Structure formats: C-alpha cells, structure tokens
Structure 1
Amino acid sequence: MPGNAGTEQTTTVIIGTGLSGLAVAAELRRRGIDSIVVDGLDILGAAQPANTTSLQRCDAADSGTLRERNEILRHLRNYAASHQVDVRNTTRAVQLTMVAQSPPEAAQPQWEVHTPTGILVADHIVLTRCAHSQLRRMINDFGIAVGRNLAAAMRAIGIYLVGVGELITPSPKEVLRQAKTVGQAISAKVHPDTVPAPATGSFAMLTC
C-alpha cells in the first residue's frame, strides 16, 4: 500500500496476528470471505493503548495448555501460508474511525482502520485481547450507549471479539469456538443465502 494516501477495501480487518486472529482469518477464508490481519492496535478510542500484540504464549502456567496453543498456532500459520491469507505481521493499526452509511438506518457503519502506510476500509472489525474496560471506553467514545451486554453492542456496529476474556485468557479450544462463531456471524451477513460448508483438511481437525 504505497504512501500515506493508500486505501484498500476488504470485508474484515482482524487486529491481532496471534492465535485468536489467525483462527478467525482461517475460518473466514474457509467461508470464502476476504480479510486482512494486522499485528495489533496502538490506539483504542481516545488514544488508549490496547493489548493486541501477537499472542505467542499462554497466560496460564499450564505446560499442557501451552503446548496445545503452540501446536494449534503452528497449524494456523501453515494454513494461512498455504491459503494466501493476508497476514501483515509488521503493520499495526493506529486509529479506528467509524464511517456512517447514508442513510444512517440503511446499514451498519463501515470502518476505516488507519495504519502508518494507509487506510483499510472494512465492513467488519475483529478485535483480540482487549480488556473489557478499554472496549467500553472505545464504544463510549463513538457516542454509543453500552448496556450490560458489551459483545452485543459491539456486534451491532460490526465489531466482533475473539480471545477476549473478562479476567483470564480463554483456552485454545474456547478461542477456536469463538472464531467459528464469529466466522458464522460475518458469513451470514456477507452471504445471507449460503449454507456454510463443513470444515475440511487440517483446519477441520482444529475446530472439532
């Protein structure tokens, strides 16, 4: 993407190139939905840093969980490489901008994800590893009232959460479950009349 004026259009921008981000990207790729995965988010809402760096190790000390996470991450990286998933390990988002549609009630907003080299325009955003307090602050900064169900409020404006826990990092299997759920939700909006195909190959082993 040349210069600061470059703009790219995609269906989904995934923020986080760790286990959660790659799991969603693989799920979307399997469903024929394009995405761009960036390394993390430096600014969240009103200049608040977000913890969305690559997830290389588990927060828990359990060695079995760590081995499982690393094995799944290895499979996901291989899947991304062999299926041309657009993963940009050196690109970080520096700002999210909500762009209202016209008329406003016609559709959910689009998003502009600003990076040091340009702007990614997408219908959906997937966030990984952000604290709930940061997410609530971000939604409030956009002028949107947040009730008790944070995830529902975010889905209404096209933002999805994977690998985000209130107190602890979700287990690898829970991350895969969340990725599949988000993939289904985005696919239902992109292809509302399409019946999802069953998972195949190495990714099928990860999601079962």
Structure 2
Amino acid sequence: MVTPALAETTTTIVIGSGFSGLAVAAELNRQGIDAIVVDSFRPSGPGSPAPNTGGISLDALSERTNILRLLEHYALRHELDIRPGTSPLQLNRLGTDAPTEHQWTVLTADGTLSAHSVVFTRGALNQLRRVLHSVGLSTSHELASVMHSLGLYLVGVGDLVVPTTHEILHQAKRAGASISARMAARNSIAVLIPA
C-alpha cells in the first residue's frame, strides 16, 4: 500500500536552514507569522562543494557563530518549525491570483508544502532564477518589488559578496515586516469577500 504524500499549508516557506533562514524564522515568529524552514536546493553527497564563507573575517565569523547559537536557542525555545533534513525538490507557482489563496507549493520527499510567501536564502539562488524565468521575469532594477508582489523574498543575499551579519539581520527584519503587512492586507480582503 502506498502512503499518500503529506500536504501541509503555512504562511511562509523559508528555503535555507542556515544563518539567514533562522534569522528569517525568528523574525517571522516575532511578527506572528507561521513558517516552515527547509534546507536549500543543493547537491549532496561525495564531491559536493564545501560551503563558501565568502571571505568573511574571523571576527565577523565569530560574531555570526554567536548569533547563530542565539537563533538556534530561540528556535528551540519557541518551537519553530525548522526542518534541516527536508530538501525542497521543486517550487511551483499556483495558477491563482486570488488574494486569500496560497500561491506557492514546494515539493519535498516528505510531501508538499503550500504557502503565500517564499523566502530564498543564499543557497537557493539558482532555483530562484529558474522560478523567476518560469513566471516570465528577468533581472531588472525593479526585480525586488516585482518579487514582493509575487510573495518572494531574498535574505542573506548580496550583490557580489556575502552580506555582513548586520545586513542579513536587517534583510530578515525587512522581509518579516513585508510578509506581515502582506498577510494583514490578505486577511482584510478575506473578511470583505463572503464565503
């Protein structure tokens, strides 16, 4: 007998369970937004490239390590839904623009997750490029605003270098505030639309 794949819904899916992903999860929790954090799209197994520190100084790495420990403690204490062993296999945009419907699905080996918003961290950039291409978007100076209108966010991503710890925390705070405002607007529209 085949067990059907688990289907779950949440407000936000965070792709990347490292420093940036935990920073976003903590900020979303602080904003009262439900989220599921999964691992990044990346190769695994022998011959996989080692993580690149991006030239971060030892002092900055030490600061980041200390903040990472605090974020991990926060995640445990607040029982955040962090799934580092769950890797996304495919991301799809649903064909709905209805303000109260989930717009995105993430297929994993354990099932399907659906959400209103998706946050990409550094490890998910190649997948993000494929998704943007599949919905007809190309890189432009207004890419961030277009992405936000689709419920897509970037955290832990710099132009050419790995952002500083402070920049990542600032990006997480901005994404959390934007997702919170987006959900408040959706909830207002849901109240106005009769069931």
Tell me the TM-score normalized by structure 2: 0.82
CA contact (8 A) 1:94 1:116 kept: yes
For 1:94, what is the secondary structure of its paired residue? strand
CA contact (8 A) 1:96 1:112 kept: yes
Decide which moves more: 4-13 or 74-83: 4-13
2:12 is aligned to 12
Q: Among residues 142, 145, 153, which one is paired with 1:152 in the alignment?
A: 145
CA contact (8 A) 2:41 2:123 kept: no
Superposition CA RMSD, Å: 2.9
For 1:33, what is the secondary structure of its paired residue? coil
Distance across 2 between alignment mates of 1:21 and 1:32: 16
1:26 is aligned to 26
One-letter amino acid of the structure 1 residue matched with residue 16 of structure 2: G
How far 1:150 sits from its partner (Å)? 2.2
1:69 is aligned to 64
How high is the sequence identity, in percent, across the aligned residues? 43
Counterparts in 2 of 1:23 and 1:131: CA distance versus 1, 3 Å: closer
One-letter amino acid of the structure 2 residue matched with residue 5 of structure 1: A
Task: Tell me if 1:174 matches 2:179.
Answer: no
CA contact (8 A) 2:91 2:131 kept: no
Tell me the TM-score normalized by structure 1: 0.77
Distance across 1 between alignment mates of 2:142 and 2:113: 28
2:111 is aligned to 118
One-letter amino acid of the structure 2 residue matched with residue 38 of structure 1: V
**Structure 2: runs of 5+ lacking an equivalent:** 187-195
For 1:41, what is the secondary structure of its paired residue? coil
How far 1:141 sits from its partner (Å)? 1.8
Distance across 1 between alignment mates of 2:31 and 2:102: 22
Distance across 2 between alignment mates of 1:120 and 1:190: 18
How far 1:30 sits from its partner (Å)? 1.0
1:192-207 paired onto structure 2 within 5 Å: 192=185
Task: Tell me if 1:89 matches 2:84.
Answer: yes
Distance across 2 between alignment mates of 1:151 and 1:35: 21
Decide which moves more: 68-77 or 122-131: 122-131
Higher helix share: 2
CA contact (8 A) 1:41 1:92 kept: yes
Q: Give the aligned length.
A: 181
